[in-house]
Chains A and B, each alone.
Chain A
Amino acid sequence: MSISQSLAAALDPMVLAMIVLGTIFGAIIGALPGFSSVMAISLLLPVVYPLDPLLGLLILGSIYMGAMYGDANAAILLNIPGTASSLPTTFDGFPMTRQGRAREALLAALAGSVTGGIAGVLVLLATFGALAEFSLRFGPQEYFWLTVLGLTTIAALSSGNLIKGLAGGGLGIAISLIGLDPYWGTPRFTFGQSSLIAGVHLIPALLGLFCVAQVLSSLAGPERDRNAPEAGDQKDALRKVVGTMVRRWDVLVRSSAIGVLIGMLPGAGGPIASTISYNETRRWDRDSASYGKGRVEGVIASEAANSAMVGGSLIPMMALGIPGNVNAAVILGALLSFGLRPGMNLLSDGSGVAMSFMIGLLISSILLAPLGYFIIIRISTQILKIPRTYLAPTILVFASVGAYSVTNSMYGVVIMAALGIGGFLFRRIGLEAAPIGLGLILGPIAEREFTSSLLIAQAQGSYWTMVLRPISLVLIFLCLLSIAAPVLLALRQRRAADGGASA
């Protein structure tokens, strides 16, 4: 399929309507404190499952894009970051609200998100082909180590408890082993249950881990005051934001670059991108002391990096099959559910899904500007007033019917409920849902490539062939670096804290 045909497919009225709905839905869920973008994507997995792959992937991509912007609203209006990614947005966004400049802050967040989102997708468009072509040099050994590299994301997701994080990832892989043995074709780990022969279906499992467990966690937390102030009628807000963008284009360029680069690294997602971007913007500013007191550049820096990370995280996911973060991992799960494989296959299968998807994402990030200005900002204060009373049971019903629809039986609902309640309990003891989910998604790929590598090694008469190949060695080094970096960073922070305390 040519680029013009891909463009035509992405500009189909039905596809455009779905992009608009996906972006708004993502922004709404993202705006609700405690409900993350990964939950928004997971919740719609069953809805997109029966659809055309392009339409389904574009809905999920648009939700991702919308959610990364939506969480800024709660951060600015309530000082509650919708997700950890928008924490730096609160530093200057909320002081601006208290100064009566809420509209300016909301528009700055929108401007940053749109610019960052477009930059991220443009880099994705520019690099995907080359990276996918490079992946043609990969054999099963390299793909196995690449999957291990994806799994090392767990180290960054484990928030200070690497052992529990790795155990969670292993548990996810172990659950993914249930069902038919891919090599011999015989049932394994089914405990005599015929329904388990088909394995643990990915979508109900993700619904349980990311929706049900999240809802139960929100019930465990205190009900926060959601009396969001109105955005106000600041007439010159748009002019001021546009003026800042023109004057401080360097903030947009630097923050977008940071977002894309951080997004590409496994595990180093939105929170790291937005924090580094905010800190760098403050560091490069002559008046750095005024940050935290209502500087519009602070909001733009945080949100531009946050949204640029979307395109960045999809680069390794689409080209190599390694998700940059949990959101990309869930989209990878959807990609695999549609029967598509990441890498050169996506470009060369003739369907044009990859190119149309990237063009559609670009349209989504551009459409975010009018959608945010005319719809999302206007309704964000109303969205923030929706009480937990109505949200929690409704999400549980939506997840249940979604799990049923994917398997067309109660089996999916039982899987969802079991992993949801189990995921909530594990989350309370520090075994987070993200590593378990990542293990579930990447486990089958790792097993397939490992078994193939093993067969090749046996045929060649040496197991060293699994390791001693140039690209494999580089990937093994990156795996070790990916695990060691968060540990060393935590040790350094602890030492710095101890030093500060003793001083």
Chain B
Amino acid sequence: MMWNIDKVLLGAVVVFCGVLLFQAIDIKAPAGTFPVFVTATTGALAMFALGRAFLRPSTEPFLPAGAGAIVLAGAIGLAVYVTAMTASYLVATPLFLFAGYLFLMPQRTIRSVVLAAVVAVAMTAFTWLCFAYWLGVNLP
């Protein structure tokens, strides 16, 4: 699995730098010189690393056994939370925290679930007080 993701990510860096380089060439000098140099050099370095990944493929797993599901859930959970936060911070945050605590809990008992709910509400209140009340941020 490692070799695939390794190459895909390095390939993505090459493509990203290529796209920027293509646009940077059109920027008139002297403003275009630095972006051209940076994107060309970075793209070349990424291509070199990609070539090395093909020649000497890594045998290490991308993630330790059993960790993939937790990390994927973490990344998806974050994406869902970021989307839900636009609706209401005070609703999305305790739900995200409670779900996160429950998901990562090694053993669920009634006591630990109640504690998770209390901590989720308390942390939401703390962050709201800190940012919305103290720092005056208009949270959604």
Binding site for B on A (CB under 8 A): 47, 50, 163-164, 166-167, 170-171, 173-174, 177, 181-184, 188-189, 212, 215-216, 219-223, 388-390, 392-394, 396-398, 400-402, 404-405, 408, 410, 413-414, 417, 420-421, 424-426, 428-429, 431, 443, 446-447, 450-451, 454-455, 458
Question: Known contacts A164-B49, A390-B119, A394-B97: does B30 contact A421 (CB below 8 Å)?
Answer: no
Q: Which residues of B contact A397 (CB under 8 A)?
A: 81, 93, 96-97, 123-124, 127
**A-B pairs under 8 A by CB, number:** 177
Within 8 A of A (CB), among B107-140: 116, 119, 123-124, 127, 130-131, 135-140
CA distance A90 to B99 in the complex (A): 36
Q: List 14 A-B contacts (CB under 8 A).
A: A170-B38, A171-B13, A181-B31, A182-B31, A184-B27, A219-B70, A220-B67, A222-B64, A393-B77, A397-B123, A397-B124, A408-B138, A417-B82, A424-B71
CA distance A188 to B24 in the complex (A): 8
Cβ-defined partner of A167 (8 Å) among B13, B31, B89: B13
Determine if A393 and B101 form an interchain contact, defined as CB atoms under 8 angstroms apart.
Answer: yes
Determine if A171 and B64 form an interchain contact, defined as CB atoms under 8 angstroms apart.
Answer: no
Determine if A183 and B97 form an interchain contact, defined as CB atoms under 8 angstroms apart.
Answer: no
From B102, which residue of chain A is reached at the shortest CB distance? Answer: A389
| Cβ distance A28 to chain B, nearest Cβ, rounded Å | 15
Q: Which residues of A contact B15 (CB under 8 A)?
A: none
A interface footprint on B77-108 (CB within 8 Å = 1, 0 otherwise)? 11101100110010001001100110011100
Chain A contact residues: helix, strand, loop or mixed: helix
From A394, which residue of chain B is reached at the shortest CB distance? Answer: B123
From B135, which residue of chain A is reached at the shortest CB distance? Answer: A50
Q: Which residues of A contact B77 (CB under 8 A)?
A: 393
| Cβ distance B133 to chain A, nearest Cβ, rounded Å | 12
Determine if B6 and A429 form an interchain contact, defined as CB atoms under 8 angstroms apart.
Answer: yes
- Considering residues A184, A220, A398, A431, which has the most beta carbons from chain B within 10 angstroms of its beta carbon? A220
Question: Known contacts A183-B31, A397-B97, A451-B31: does B70 contact A173 (CB below 8 Å)?
Answer: no
Determine if A392 and B28 form an interchain contact, defined as CB atoms under 8 angstroms apart.
Answer: no
From B21, which residue of chain A is reached at the shortest CB distance? Answer: A174
Q: Which residues of A contact B46 (CB under 8 A)?
A: 167, 170-171
Q: Which residues of A contact B93 (CB under 8 A)?
A: 397, 401
Determine if B138 and A421 form an interchain contact, defined as CB atoms under 8 angstroms apart.
Answer: no
Determine if B35 and A177 form an interchain contact, defined as CB atoms under 8 angstroms apart.
Answer: yes
Question: Known contacts A167-B13, A417-B82, A429-B5: does B104 contact A216 (CB below 8 Å)?
Answer: no
A interface footprint on B38-64 (CB within 8 Å = 1, 0 otherwise)? 110110011011001000000000111
Determine if B20 and A458 form an interchain contact, defined as CB atoms under 8 angstroms apart.
Answer: no
Q: Which residues of B contact A184 (CB under 8 A)?
A: 27-28, 31
Determine if A163 and B52 form an interchain contact, defined as CB atoms under 8 angstroms apart.
Answer: yes
Determine if A170 and B41 form an interchain contact, defined as CB atoms under 8 angstroms apart.
Answer: yes
CA distance A145 to B78 in the complex (A): 40
Determine if A223 and B106 form an interchain contact, defined as CB atoms under 8 angstroms apart.
Answer: yes
From A191, which residue of chain B is reached at the shortest CB distance? Answer: B19
| Cβ distance B108 to chain A, nearest Cβ, rounded Å | 10
Determine if A220 and B71 form an interchain contact, defined as CB atoms under 8 angstroms apart.
Answer: yes
Determine if B49 and A163 form an interchain contact, defined as CB atoms under 8 angstroms apart.
Answer: yes
Question: Known contacts A189-B23, A393-B96, A429-B9: does B45 contact A166 (CB below 8 Å)?
Answer: yes
Determine if A216 and B105 form an interchain contact, defined as CB atoms under 8 angstroms apart.
Answer: no
| Cβ distance A150 to chain B, nearest Cβ, rounded Å | 15
Cβ-defined partner of A401 (8 Å) among B29, B49, B63, B131: B131
Determine if A446 and B64 form an interchain contact, defined as CB atoms under 8 angstroms apart.
Answer: no
Determine if A390 and B101 form an interchain contact, defined as CB atoms under 8 angstroms apart.
Answer: yes
Cβ-defined partner of B100 (8 Å) among A183, A392, A426: A392
Q: Which residues of A contact B85 (CB under 8 A)?
A: 400, 404, 410, 413
CA distance A189 to B23 in the complex (A): 7
Question: Known contacts A167-B42, A390-B119: does B97 contact A181 (CB below 8 Å)?
Answer: no
Q: Which residues of B contact A223 (CB under 8 A)?
A: 106
From B62, which residue of chain A is reached at the shortest CB distance? Answer: A428
Q: Which residues of A contact B89 (CB under 8 A)?
A: 401
CA distance A171 to B43 in the complex (A): 9
Determine if B42 and A400 form an interchain contact, defined as CB atoms under 8 angstroms apart.
Answer: no
Q: Which residues of B contact A221 (CB under 8 A)?
A: 64, 67
Cβ-defined partner of B81 (8 Å) among A163, A166, A189, A396: A396
From B124, which residue of chain A is reached at the shortest CB distance? Answer: A397
Q: Which residues of A contact B45 (CB under 8 A)?
A: 163, 166-167, 170
Q: Which residues of B contact A398 (CB under 8 A)?
A: 127
